[in-house]
Amino acid sequence: MAGLSEPSASEPRSDDAKVVVDGVGKVYESERQRVRALSGVDFTVDDGEFVCLVGPSGCGKTTLFRTIAGLEAATDGEIRLDGDPVTGPGTDRGMVFQEYGLFPWRTVRENVAFGLEEQGVPEPERSSRVGEMLGLVGLAEFADAYPKELSGGMKQRVGIARALAVDPEILLADEPFGSVDAQTRDMLHEELLRIWSETEKTVLFVTHDVEEAVKLSDRVVVMAADPGRVSEIVDVDLDRPRERTEPAFADYVDRIRTLIGE
């Protein structure tokens, strides 16, 4: 797949990468205290690559996610997408959240159509794009259901369809499968990998689950806490589909767990 033939992480990556995280630091300041959440975070994500961010809780991975998403501003450094600095949220970054974030008053179809409405996509195209996205995530029959009628896994597939509908440059996901059961999670992993290879999107995926990171990604950015920083970037050189039972898979998991200190 796309990522496997890419140059390895040890080679310097140029500024023509899809995403460049360049010396990003984040300090939260309140009247009583000053907390450094991120310090000197540097890494890049290539076009079409699947990168996971893992780390212990408190390592700032969610802060980093929110900064890349444009929901928070970096205190130092900057994030560039296709060379342009990120200054706020935008449709070039499709976002998928752990708590789904579906609009409960909109049906599945209407949720997926939301971003297209904002882009002013006119009606025949809009419906056909929504239909295409629902087909991609296998929810065509549930187009008229409200979110409350869906299981967690189905809700997240709507979330993915909605994020992809506006054809973003990159898909950002923050622990998207953290709220579903293990069996559903395995299924969603397969589905996400299929969608990734069909759409050839760049994916940046935050998780605390090391196995999930090894299962999915081309590279794993391992973070450490106090202050949040990148401790190592691990290339996952395994053929897909990957099985948790393979010894090489377990080696990667052990190596990353050791880095995290689990």
Partner 1 sequence: MSLETGTGAASDPAAAPEEAAEADSLGDLSEFDVSSLAYGAVGTTVFLALWQAAALAVGRTYLLPSPIEVATAFVVELTAPTTFTVPFVGASLPATRLTANLLQSLLHYLPGLVVGSVLGIALGVGMGWSGRLDDALTPVTRFLRPIPPLAWIVFAIVWIGIGHGGAAFIVGIGAFWINFYNAYAGVEGVSTHLREVAASLGVDDDLTMIRKVVLPAATPSIATGIRTSIGQCWMIVVAAELFGAPGVGFQIINAAQNLATDVSVAYMAVISLVFLVSDGAFRRVERRVLAWRD
Closer of 32 and 148 to partner 1 (Cβ): 148
The least distance separating partner 1 from the CB of residue 89, rounded to whole angstroms, comes to 4
If binding means CB under 8 A, how many residues of this protein chain bind partner 1?
27
Query: Should residue 147 be labelled a site residue for partner 1 when binding is judged by CB under 8 A?
Result: yes
What would the x/- binding string for partner 1 be over residues 54 to 73, using CB under 8 A?
Answer: ---------------xxx--
Q: How far apart are CB 49 and partner 1 at their closest, in Å?
A: 21
Cβ closest to partner 1, residue 119 vs residue 151 = 119
The site map against partner 1 for 98-127 (x = CB under 8 A) is -x-x-xxxx-------xx--xx--------
Q: How far is the CB of 232 from partner 1 (least distance, A)?
A: 30
**Which residue, 178, 213, 204, 245, is CA-closest to 64?**
204
The mark string for 71-90 relative to partner 1 (x by CB under 8 A, - otherwise) is: x----------------xxx
Of 41, 102, 36, nearest in space to 233 by CA: 41
Site residues for partner 1, window 205-234 (CB under 8 A)? Answer: none
Min dist CB 126 to partner 1, Å, is: 13
Q: How far is the CB of 125 from partner 1 (least distance, A)?
A: 16
Residues that bind partner 1 (CB under 8 A): 69-71, 88-91, 93-95, 97, 99, 101, 103-106, 114-115, 118-119, 146-148, 162-163, 166
